[in-house]
Structure formats: structure tokens, C-alpha cells
Amino acid sequence: MLGPPGAGKGTQAVRLAEQFHCADIATGDIFRANVAEGSQLGLLAQEYMDRGDLVPDEVVIAMVMDRLAEPDCQAGFVLDGFPRTVAQAEALDRRLAQLHTPLHAALNFEITEEELLRRLVGRAAQLHRSDDAEQTIRHRLEVFAIKTRPLIDYYMRRGLLVNVDAIGPIEDVTKRILADLEARGA
């Protein structure tokens, strides 16, 4: 799943994983759990997360590769928040080639900046996420534009990109995604 913070990737990932009975791998959630536990990974990730920066590629890649080796991933998986850089996408491609598991689709959540800011400011108030303060939100959107947006092109060139209109009720967005995936024979 590709899309800026606040586009609804997490919400839709949970619904898709239920629908397809597969694993939901949310890298942000894994990092937050590690921060809460005070693990070494959590301590390392926290400073990047609080600034709204990306955790270094080698750390994220190693973590996701370990996660993909767990048994529940054999039935397939939804990746929420990974890859976020071209280096991460290349590492994923290499691993999927080894596993003979092709990627079915890269869902690109399309949303206006105005709607994003509205949602993120609401989420900051509700969840008290330390990275949802307004200046951090703006920085995360910049990081997305610079580091993650090139992946739209990356997956378009591979014929895997599915653009999703991410504005509207949650159920409607899920229906749009399922219809698109069905059209692709996923």
C-alpha cells in the first residue's frame, strides 16, 4: 500500500487482510510496539519517528524480511507502510523472487492535501500520536513526497499500480479496492 500518512492505508489494510485471510504487516505498528516495550529496535526507531523521518532502510528491511519468514505470511500478506523507499522496494522484489511469490498489486491511495491535514489533525487529537503534531505532519508529508512518491512510478513501470480514490466512507474505499483487485484477477 502506497500513500501519504493519513490516507487510510492502515484502516484498509486490516479490512483487506480479513477479506483475504492473510497477514497484515504494518511497519509503523511494529515500530510503535517496540517503542512501547522499550526494545533496542524501539529505542533506535523512536528518534526518527518523533522527528517524522524514516527509520534507516537497513533496519526496516531486516525487520520486514524477518516478519515475512513467519508462518502466517505463507497465505499471503498486505504490506502497510512498506516499502517507503526505492531501496526497500528493491529489497522486497529480491525476496519475493526468492520465494517465487509475485506481488499482485501496489495500491496507490490518492487523496488531496486538504483532506489529509484535516484527518491527521483529528487523529493527533484522538490518539495522541507523538508524530501527529502539525509541524511533524508537514515534515512527514515532505518525506513522503521526496522518498516514497517515486515508488508510484516504480510500480507503474512494472504494471502493478492500482490507483485508489481514498476519499469517502471507509466501506466505499474498501469496495473500490476489491473491485479493482478483482478486475486484476487477484
Q: Are 173 and 15 in contact (CB under 8 A)?
A: no
Nearer to ligand AMP, 27 or 108 (CB): 27
Q: Which lies closer to ligand AMP via its Cβ, residue 130 or residue 163?
A: 130
Closest CB to ligand AMP among 31 and 109? Answer: 31
Contact between 28 and ligand AMP per CB under 6 A: yes
Residue 120 in contact with ligand AMP, rule: CB under 6 A: no
Find the shortest distance in angstroms from Cβ 5 to ligand AMP: 5
User: Cell 493519513 identifies what position?
Assistant: 6
* Residue-wise burial string across 124-143, b where 16 or more C-beta atoms lie within 10 A, e elsewhere: beeeebebbeeebbeebbeb
Binding ligand AMP (rule: CB under 6 A), the pick from 12, 120, 137, 140 is 140
Q: Among 55, 89, 111, 151, which residue sits at the site for ligand AMP (rule: CB under 6 A)? A: 55
The 75-114 site mask, x for binding ligand AMP (CB under 6 A), equals ------xx-x---x--------------------------
Q: Dihedral angle at the C-alpha atoms of 72, 5, 104, 60, nearest 10 degrees?
A: -50
Which helix (H) or strand (E) segment holds residue 26: the answer is strand 23-26
Q: Please state, in angstroms and rounded to a whole number, the distance separating the CA atoms of residues 55 and 23.
A: 22
